[in-house]
Amino acid sequence: MAEELTGYTGPATMEKITSLAKRRGFVFQSSEIYGGQNGAWDYGPLGIELKNRIAANWWKAMTQLHDEIVGLDAAILMHPRTWEASGHVENFTDPLVDCKKCKTRFRADMVPDENLANKTCPECGGELTDTRKFNLMFKSHIGPTEDNAGLIYLRPETAQGIYVNYKNIIQSNRMKIPFGIAQIGKAFRNEIVTKNFIFRTCEFEQMEMQYFVKPGTDVEWFNEWKKRRWAYYEKLGVKMDHLRWHQHGPDELAHYAKDAYDIQYLFPMGWRELEGVHNRTNYDLTRHTEYSGKDLQYIDQDNNNDRYIPFIIETSAGLTRTLLMLICDAYDEEKVADKGDADDWRTVLRFHPVVAPVTVAMLPLMKKDGLAEMAQDMRNELKEDFATDYDQAGAIGRRYRRQDEAGTPFCVTVDYQSKEDGTVTLRYRDSMEQIRVPRTELAEKIRQEIKSYKRKA
């Protein structure tokens, strides 16, 4: 049934993903011993490795591979005028309705039309309140008093930190238009509906890049960034038939945007936004000029010192949402034997090796006869260059399965032959193929395999 509703036909369900994530230490509920904190999650040993690698991969794709894009790490706490200028104080709201009887709170746009029209609760049939605007920004106070003078917001997007630094960066780094500024960092939104695991949370991370262009060239650059972001996912080995574009209609378009497309991914619960590519026009810089009183025009020294406020093309992806997407995308169940028991199946996460939390696992066939020492010794050699794991507990088949479930692309087994001729077994996660490789060539072999990795359908 669910498949018909969502279009998703793969083996993952959100229950399976959530339970695997907990069991293997990817993601835990925040403050679980106190019953959990809604909308907040903790990243365990495998989760933080995966998250760091996704961030590093994005950072490389957006900065290292583009001469004209530089990085920034702005503070989460910003001057409150920032959010007046950006329009968030006024516009960053969700429409809310409450049920007077069961007290459930709904986002009005998620309540069926007929319930909204006759004001009945879709859960219990009780009476619904009128729709009210609810601002999604978290408020706090800075300083010793809790009055409005110390009002401060947790940033709901990383973008504004880039805009308010754009002049600093032009001056310090002699940037010329077109150029970009990339940033990865936390953002906070008081989301009302936080279901679907880490898909929509109150505390999350964004990977945003703001590209400053000359007015009139914005449409061209917008199309160019759409192409580049699509190619990014292709290179990461994501199932491309699980990605699609969704153009914002007039009722979805943010107050600052001229055009906006989302890249949507087919999650087990259906098509959902993964990333937005937006033409934010010169709205933000114009507003910051107005609110700060500072001149934020760009002076084009190569063109008679022409002055203008640049247009901005934004690519805005969720880091934590990308992590969820990659786990769902990588998740597979494969029949590998026919004995009629649970061992016939393996669960495997087919991560691209550049993001896999562990790249190589060293597994001595036996603990004894010096095999463990040899494997540990090899791990020490490899760990300068790769994220490694070591496992000597239990049958070798079981250990492979454990690594499959963690998404480790390469396992290396040290056996008796290794002691004789210095070769080891390299086992591939995806095909389960095993080959013998001289120990001295192992690191280079793995490096090549990572470089030439192509996901098989």
Least distance from C-beta 130 to ligand ATP, angstroms? 22
Q: Strand 93-98 relative to strand 132-135: parallel, antiparallel, unpaired?
A: antiparallel
Within 10 angstroms of residue 264's Cβ, the number of other Cβ atoms is 17
Least distance from C-beta 16 to ligand ATP, angstroms? 20
Nearer to ligand ATP, 188 or 400 (CB): 188
Nearer to ligand ATP, 74 or 426 (CB): 74
Distance, in Å, from the CA atom of 218 to the CA atom of 209, rounded to the nearest integer, reads 15
User: Residue 329: what are its φ and ψ, rounded to 5°?
Assistant: -65, -35
Start-end of H helices in 119-180: 159-163, 166-173
Tokens of 275: 């990333």
Least distance from C-beta 188 to ligand ATP, angstroms? 9
Q: Residues interacting with ligand ATP, by CB under 6 A?
A: 157, 189, 191, 200-201, 204, 206, 273-276, 316-318, 320-321
Sequence-ordered strand ranges (E) for 30-177: 41-43, 69-71, 93-98, 105-107, 132-135, 139-141, 151-153
Nearer to ligand ATP, 264 or 347 (CB): 264
Nearer to ligand ATP, 253 or 443 (CB): 253
Nearer to ligand ATP, 201 or 210 (CB): 201
Least distance from C-beta 24 to ligand ATP, angstroms? 21
Nearer to ligand ATP, 185 or 353 (CB): 185
Least distance from C-beta 189 to ligand ATP, angstroms? 5
Given a contact cutoff of 8 angstroms between Cβ atoms, the answer to whether 301 and 36 are in contact is no
Tokens of 250: 């007039």
Tokens of 252: 């979805």
Give me the residue whose beta carbon is nearest to ligand ATP: 318
Given a contact cutoff of 8 angstroms between Cβ atoms, the answer to whether 185 and 207 are in contact is no
Nearer to ligand ATP, 239 or 383 (CB): 239
Q: Which amino acid is at 239?
A: K
Could you tell me which residues come within 8 angstroms of residue 29 by beta carbon, excluding any fewer than 6 positions away? 22, 36, 37, 41, 42
Least distance from C-beta 236 to ligand ATP, angstroms? 15
* DSSP secondary structure letter of residue 327: H
Distance, in Å, from the CA atom of 60 to the CA atom of 53, rounded to the nearest integer, reads 10
Nearer to ligand ATP, 229 or 429 (CB): 229
At how many degrees (to 10) do helices 45-59 and 319-330 cross? 110
Least distance from C-beta 41 to ligand ATP, angstroms? 10
Nearer to ligand ATP, 98 or 275 (CB): 275
Distance, in Å, from the CA atom of 228 to the CA atom of 240, rounded to the nearest integer, reads 14
Q: How far lies 298's CA from each of 15, 71, 85, 208, in Å?
A: 51, 19, 19, 21
Tokens of 53: 């690698």
Q: Which amino acid is at 222?
A: F
Given a contact cutoff of 8 angstroms between Cβ atoms, the answer to whether 180 and 211 are in contact is yes
Least distance from C-beta 259 to ligand ATP, angstroms? 13
Least distance from C-beta 275 to ligand ATP, angstroms? 5
Nearer to ligand ATP, 170 or 327 (CB): 327
Nearer to ligand ATP, 49 or 314 (CB): 314
Residue 424's nearest CA partner among 405, 446, 398, 457 is 446
Least distance from C-beta 318 to ligand ATP, angstroms? 3
Least distance from C-beta 402 to ligand ATP, angstroms? 29
**CA 119: distance to chain centroid?**
37
What value, to the nearest 5°, has the Cα angle with vertex 268 and ends 28 and 20? 30
